[in-house]
Amino acid sequence: MSEREQTVLLTGAAGLIGGALREALTDYRVRLFDRDLSSVEPAAHQEPFQADLGDFDAVREATRGCDHVIHLAAAPRVDEPWENLRVPNIDGVYHVFEAARLAGVRRVVFASTNHVTGMHDRHERWPLGPYTEVAPDSLYGASKAFGEALGRYYADEFGLSVICLRIGWVKTRRFPDDPNWRRMWLSFRDLRQLFRKSLAAHDIRFGIYYGVSANTPMRYDLDNARRELGYQPVDDSSEQV
């Protein structure tokens, strides 16, 4: 099956990362899923599907006929209270994986976060890699760890191919106030490459990969992302002036 014949469901399509991927996935048919698509003008190869992650029937309908799912949609703030996290980050993640299973989707690319191991970051227990013990720094980080665990279950139990990307800091401006940005930064160029490589990679049943640029200093182990996904980040936060 060629890329041009494949359909990707992109949840969170109206968000910051969703916008970057809308521009990058030009050789796929893309179904744009978000609860509010009023700010999005779909291109010719894109189909809008406005619905809420909490509605399983809607998620199942959106997933029908798709080859892949990129699951970005979530309550994104690290300080989100539990009542804001439960539906999008817990129930919604289950809805996406279960709908993908029922639809015969080949791969789900799940947008996880560096906050899954954020407590190690806080205490400077580096380097961090996919082998590092989970240590969330927030309820948000814990909700993403749940998504990774659920993905592992769907991979082992049902044979769904699942790639979890622990995404670093994707910023619209170059210099966040927090000095830690230099080790966590993920450029838009590297972001687009990482997700495209994740869709195209072969022979992966389940994997966890850090999504950061080739930063100096480097605090994350990208070896498995380079080896298994073919990810070759080209940007370095130390060169941003």
Distance CA 110, CA 68 (A): 11
140 is catalytic: yes
Q: Which of 28, 131, 140, 209 is catalytic?
A: 140
Q: Which residues are catalytic?
A: 140
